[in-house]
Amino acid sequence: MKLRLLLNGKKASQPNVRDAVMQLREQGWDLEVRVTWEGGDIARFVAEAVKDRCSRIIAGGGDGTVNEAVNALMQHPKDQRPELAILPLGTANDFATACEIPTRSALEALVLAAEGQSTSIDLIKANQQYVLNIATAGFGAQVTATTPPALKNFLGGGAYTLTGLIQALDFKPFNGTVSFDEKRIEQSVLVGALCNGRQAGGGQVLSAKSYINDGKIELVALHAFPAAAISTVINELSDPNCSGDFVQRHQVSEAHWQSDDAMPMNLDGEPISVTDIHFKVCPLEIALVLPKHCPMLIR
């Protein structure tokens, strides 16, 4: 099998990554490495892999690098797309963690990437972009977008929580309309999430029941609430089966958000700001290498 590692340039000098690549080659694997330098490199490398008929590409980096690889793959016909594997090297690695892809050993992740079986999985299309894991909106997206990189590296996933606590003191909700299942609902939203995966923001579980091959998205929305209702909100957020006074959960295949003011959103770690966005499930679009008994697959 012809493998190609598309490696985030910021991670290329890490000794554990270099050692893992050399060990995999010593085991007889044909592993080529391409290292990013500037924006657009991942798309170019994916195009080269398609042209060279690589069997499988490995996205080496954080959730943003994986998202770039997914979006690049979707620019090519389905029958020409290489299989995708993940070498998790980010701060949070939310998607890989939920899928139980090894995150502590680069060698273990590369061995899985080379030897593991691929499974067809869903994506979320968000206007003209694609999401593998979760699209967050409102407060959650602001936290991710404004957490300084140095703080991310120092605190890991805890940086999101710390930044969130600071911002929550004066955060104001976003008003808009969400449409799904022939319903149109006016909402005042603090946090919204469209979940293909289960966690984001450094380990925060947003959807305990999501699967990446069930043709569904879980829509989760935390509405504005008074300070006196904080215990109710905590209880509703803690219960994955709950759809209560302030936390609403819906299994959908499509959803549409509209608002007068631009709402910050985060697509697998990539920040955007929109007033109008349409989400739709794209069933079984890419072949992803996953461990046996991956909890994110519905059997």
Bridge partners, residue 125, by sequence: 130, 280
Domain ranges of the chain: 2-115, 130-283
The percentage of the chain sitting over the pLDDT mark of 70, rounded to a whole number, equals 88
Task: Read off the amino acid at residue 60.
Answer: G
Do the domains 2-115 and 130-283 sit in the same CATH topology, yes or no?
no
Cα separations in angstroms, 205 against 69, 94, 195, 196, 208 = 24, 9, 10, 12, 7
Task: Decide if domain 130-283 falls under CATH 2.60.200.40.
Answer: yes
Predicted confidence at residue 143, as pLDDT, reads 57
For 49-171, strand residue ranges (E) read 56-61, 83-88, 117-126, 129-131, 134-138
- Taking the C-alpha atoms of residue 188 and residue 174, their distance in angstroms, rounded to an integer, is 5
Residue 32 annotated to the active site: no
Q: Specify the higher pLDDT residue, 60 or 260.
A: 60
| Class (C level, CATH) for 2-115 | alpha beta
62-76, 143-157, 196-210, range with the lowest pLDDT: 143-157
b/e string for 124-148 if b means 16 or more Cβ within 10 A? bbbeebbbbbbbbbbbbbbbbbebe
From the list 32, 48, 108, 270, the catalytic residue is 270
Residues 6 or more apart whose CB falls under 8 angstroms from that of 293 comprise none
**pLDDT of 41-75, one tens digit each?**
999 999 999 999 999 999 999 988 999 999 999 99
Of 81-85, 125-129, 183-187, 213-217, the one with minimum mean pLDDT is 183-187
